[in-house]
Amino acid sequence: MRFRTKGGFRVPTTTFRETLAPADPDAIRRLVRATGFFRDDEVAVAGELAEERLAKGDASGYHFVIAEENGAVLGYACVGPVPCTVHSWDLYWVAVSPERQGKGLGTELARRGEAVAWTAGGRRMYVDTSTRPDYRPTRRFYERNGYTLAALLPNFYDTDDGKAIYCKVLESEEQP
């Protein structure tokens, strides 16, 4: 574990990894559930994508960035190439534990997910999210991070719950 010194105290720092561990699917389910935004079926899918990555590796089409501190998962991003496209990728998930939201961790996870896509030839990143009023902070998050609204699909997820599709053109100078 890495530490930084602040005021004479050793403070653990957040570390990032792109390799999943066997305990990650359950940790991801707990994290996604703790956000309070997702239904049970969505929580299940979040864990299933991690299980798919563990079982099939790169062939799964899912790539993860995990943020952790003291062995605890604080957040993660999941990205992957859009089938039947040349350079388009999806940002499937960015989730951050409630106590770390609003402190830049989600932005860092999204940026690292974009870097994974860029390295693999991705040049556009797409993200889908809800149009419900309680998702307004999520939509603002994507907009602050350079995503522009590309399409709105009314009543997609449910009555009065549409899909907002955002896109970001990835630029080489943004990548590490």
Q: What is the CATH number of the domain that holds 120?
A: 3.40.630.30
**Looking at 4-13, 91-100, 104-113, 161-170, which range is the least confident one?**
4-13
- Confidence check: pLDDT of 13 > 90: no
What is the tally of structural domains in the chain? 1
Is pLDDT larger for residue 95 or for residue 175?
95
132 phi, psi to nearest 5 deg: -60, 150
Q: For residue 37, name the pLDDT band (cuts at 50, 70, 90).
A: confident
Residues 6 or more apart whose CB falls under 8 angstroms from that of 154 comprise 131, 162
Mean pLDDT taken over the chain: 92
pTM of the model: 0.88
Q: Coil, strand, or helix at residue 37?
A: coil
- Please give the pLDDT value at position 1: 37
- Please give the pLDDT value at position 168: 98
Joined together, the tokens standing for residue 110 give 């999204």
The closest alpha carbon to 129, from 140, 144, 121, 120, belongs to 140
Q: Angle at which helices 105-119 and 136-144 pack, to 10 degrees? A: 60
- Please give the pLDDT value at position 9: 52
- Confidence check: pLDDT of 3 > 50: no
Q: What is the pLDDT of residues 101-148, one digit of tens each?
A: 999 999 999 999 999 999 999 999 999 999 999 999 999 999 999 999
Q: What is the pLDDT of residues 54-106, one digit of tens each?
A: 999 999 999 999 999 988 999 999 999 999 999 999 999 999 999 999 999 99
DSSP state of 1: -
What count of other Cβ atoms lies within 10 Å of the Cβ of residue 159? Answer: 7
Residue range(s) defining the domain that contains residue 18? 3-174
- Please give the pLDDT value at position 96: 96
CA separation for the pair 73, 66 (Å, rounded) = 7
